[in-house]
Structure 1
């Protein structure tokens, strides 16, 4: 097994710092690609919206996969999150309504790659997203905001962690999972000590889980010793991998699939946590 997470990153979920009426702004983060991060952001957002909570899916990944995953092709977008970050547009101007009632998306394009370079000398570079998002949330009553972060710990992810009040980490149960988790938690600690002292880890969600794999169970058991891990586990599922090619969350593609049921269960857990903290 790889090294365990460091002590500073091993705290279980603590009491909420957000006020009961505040929206839950959840950064979906993992610096490693291919772990189900965008799949989680898209399908969890859709599942929460299906529970009649007004929800925003904010795509902060230049690949734009979260946008296309809900039917918004980046090449068809005139304005995007990039325009909001550089102050050329407001979030209200870029929002697109999706097929899921109550779910809106702020789409991303490859222009976001330039944002990190253009903002590098800006003294407010880490708070650009927070400022732009705050303006939207004073006008629109979103209950949940899910931010799909790029697979890195660069400036875009720092902006997401600064704007969020919660972090959700999709984790594939593989050999190097705990090592990567340690680096991520160290970054979260730095953000808490700097631009966002109220940031908390909502929990870890196990993704692409293969119950036949002994290592997967070993990693899961080790993670549970250090973090809050959601009961809902997202299995490897063909329907989950097919849904993005149709521009739909799996809830619209095949609601009875194991993948869809996994995210519905995860949404239920999130909603219960917020209700208990209110």
Structure 2
């Protein structure tokens, strides 16, 4: 039985897509069968895996519209054991189109239920907002992983996200769990980074992943080559961090 994990935070620039792509690739390398669903109109997870976004004809937009079966939207990637449901800029329109639909929050859940058992993990890269797209991801997911950058406004907006998760649990998805908080963009030389780590651990102790994603130049270069950090530079600090996160996730879900 596959586990669906939404990677969400309405703040932009916290490392959601970086985490979605590299965690998915790391799980694949560790011999788990993984599907990544790009549910962000910016389609960065799609281009970050070397797929030409302009050429995408069937993807998460058609999936949410229910105009195709999930299987028809899946494409193989060059990364071992990793499949992708890509996104296209079209996805911007979906929120408006779904507004009048019945059960509009459950469109993604309905669409993926047939393929859930085909994978060990299905990761959903969410848009940086708390709109209908993210709501669909949270309704479809078993759990949510929240990246938090080690910077000044790190905890700003987290309360809002946790409230959204609570209301999704209450109304749409009582089974929704918090997989964990992931600290990203950590720079050990900065006092601020260390303060944020202490602060987050103080407030959320058990919920915080042991693995911390450090700032790493190779990590920011990889997407421009359309590769995950695992294929771009397997020996880098970024690759080690994400492999360690994948191992932690697998252990946690045994």
The one-character-per-residue Cα deviations of 1:50-96 (angstroms, maximum 9, x if unpaired) are: 11110000000001100111111211111111001111111111111
Residue 21 (structure 2) aligns with: 42
The question of 1:168 aligning with 2:134 is answered: no
**Whole-angstrom distance in 1 between the partners of 2:178 and 2:18:** 19
How many equivalent residue pairs?
Answer: 252
Q: How many Å apart are 1:136 and its aligned residue?
A: 2.3
Secondary structure at the residue paired with 2:210? coil
In structure 2, what is the Cα distance between the partners aligned to 1:123 and 1:90? 19
2:243 paired with 1:241: no
Displaced runs of 4 or more, over 3 A = none
Structure 2 portions without partners, runs of 5+: none
Answer yes or no: is 1:258 the counterpart of 2:237: yes
2:172 aligns with: 195
Aligned residue in 2 for 1:224: 201
Secondary structure in 2 aligned to 1:135? coil
TM superposition shift of 1:225: 2.2
Task: Choose from 22, 36, 39 the match for 1:57.
Answer: 36
Distance 1:112 1:136 in 2: 21
CA distance in 2, matches of 1:116, 1:219: 34
Determine the C-alpha separation between the residues in 2 that align with 1:114 and 1:153: 15
Q: Which residue of 1 aligns with 2:55?
A: 76
- Quote the offset at 1:157 in angstroms: 0.1
Unaligned 5+ residue runs, structure 1?
A: 1-21
Identify the residue that residue 180 of structure 1 maps to in structure 2.
157
Give the structure with the larger strand fraction: 2
Please tell me whether the aligned partners of residues 116 and 122 of structure 2 are also in contact (alpha carbons under 8 angstroms).
Answer: no
- TM-score by length of structure 1 reads 0.89
TM-score for both structures, normalised by structure 2:
0.97
Aligned partner of 1:127 in structure 2 is 106
